[in-house]
Amino acid sequence: MSVLVNKDSKIIVQGFTGGEGTFHAGQMIEYGTQVVGGVTPGKGGQIHLDKPVFNTVAEAVSITGADVSIIFVPPAFAADAIMEAADAGIKVIVCITEGIPTKDMITVKAYLSDKDCRMVGPNCPGVMTAGEAKVGIMPGFIFKPGRIGIVSKSGTLTYEAVDQITKAGLGQSTAIGIGGDPIIGTSTKEAVELLMNDPETDGIIMIGEIGGSMEAEAARWIKENGTKPVVGFIAGETAPKGRRMGHAGAIVGGKDDTAAAKKAIMRDCGIHVVDSPAHIGIKMAEVLS
């Protein structure tokens, strides 16, 4: 089961023949992910990593039956790549690209509003269902199939949580890296909702950071609809106001988007919040026992 991607997902790679696309597509295939081909405009007809290359996403979909796309296209062309995937009928679009202008993402968000698809990212590590499909750039070997779902804005902090869950003797269903940009396709709340409705997931880890209001929105949803334990962490307790901490969206604007304010709301909504990022795994093990 799990969510978004699994062993039956047919995945294409946009930006397939570029450096990033080649390296990560190779890693995905090595993990056993069902990569059915890739798209690089102008290179259609070639074979790359033993898979067919197509000029357009529409052609790739009609020939391979792909339903998932992962995007490694450079920032100036990434918005177009997302919209091409949506237009071609791709159901799950995972955009890894970092550095897409916000104006382009406003256009993408509006374009996707009446399409039957879900975008994850951009500026994210991707989506991974342990033991089934790696649609992203995360290291596969730290995952172990299990029943804990993970939602996170950050890359390496997601790996930290995954690793702690594995070391705590548990395992992961699906890890969703939602991305750290101001405009992203799948919000914290939407990702949590997917995992809450997944019969193969018993507990959820929700990792956020300073900036924006997505964690508070997710927390309120969990309070009303939650049926599984949620362990939460917010990075950036020590971040100063008004300074951007790496991610384009990680900036404290007012008093509501500080780590302390988010954690307080999450605690009020029944989430098991840890102050130390070293306690994510043991907290989940403790809550489940």
Partner 1 sequence: MNIHEYQAKQILKSYGVAIQEGVVVNDNAMTESSVNQLKEDTGTDWVVVKAQIHAGGRGKGGGVKLAKNMEEAKQRVNDILGMQLVTPQTGPEGKKVNKVLIAQDVYYPGDSEPKEYYMSVLLDRALGKNVIIYTTEGGMDIEEVAETHPEKIWKEWINPATGLLPFQARKIAFNLGLTGVAMKGMVKFVNALYNAYVDTDSSMFEINPVLKTSDDKIIAVDAKVDLDDNALYRHKDHAALRDESEEDPTEVEAKKFNLNYVNLDGNVGCMVNGAGLAMATMDIIKLSGGEPANFLDVGGTASAETVEAGFRIILKDPNVKAILINIFGGIVRCDRVAQGVVDAYQNIGNIPVPIIVRLQGTNAVEAKKIIDESGLEVRSAILLQEAADAVSEVLS
Convert residues 250-289 into a mask of x (bound to partner 1 by CB under 8 A) and - (unbound).
x---x----x---------------xxxxx----------
d(CA 61, CA 85): 9
Contact between 31 and partner 1 per CB under 8 A: no
- The residue from 34, 158, 188, 201 that contacts partner 1 (CB under 8 A) is 158
Stretch that binds partner 1, among 37-45, 56-64, 159-167, 223-231 (CB under 8 A): 159-167
d(CA 136, CA 25): 9
d(CA 167, CA 233): 18
Whose CA is closest to 67, among 94, 43, 44, 42? 94
**From 48, 247, 272, 279, the catalytic residue:** 247
| 247, 178 Cβ separation under 8 angstroms | no
Show contacts with partner 1 in window 72-91 (CB under 8 A). Answer: 75-76
Residue type, position 181, single letter: D
- The residue from 26, 62, 243, 287 that contacts partner 1 (CB under 8 A) is 243
**Structure tokens, 156:** 């390496």
d(CA 134, CA 129): 6
Nearer to partner 1, 26 or 145 (CB): 26
Strand order in the sheet with 272-273: 133-136, 126-129, 172-177, 145-152, 203-209, 230-235, 272-273
Contact between 102 and partner 1 per CB under 8 A: yes
Say whether 247 is catalytic: yes
Contact between 248 and partner 1 per CB under 8 A: yes
- Tell me phi and psi for residue 264, to 5 degrees: -60, -45
Nearer to partner 1, 36 or 95 (CB): 95
- The residue from 101, 145, 169, 270 that contacts partner 1 (CB under 8 A) is 101
CB of 285 to partner 1, least distance (A): 14
Show contacts with partner 1 in window 170-229 (CB under 8 A). Answer: 180, 182-183, 207, 209-210, 212-214, 217
- The residue from 11, 138, 205, 218 that contacts partner 1 (CB under 8 A) is 138
Other Cβ atoms less than 10 A from the Cβ of 143: the count is 24
d(CA 95, CA 93): 6
- Tell me phi and psi for residue 279, to 5 degrees: -105, 10
Binding site for partner 1 (CB under 8 A): 27, 75-76, 99-103, 105-107, 109-110, 137-139, 141-142, 152-160, 163-164, 167, 180, 182-183, 207, 209-210, 212-214, 217, 233, 235-240, 242-250, 254, 259, 275-279
Active site residues per annotation: 247
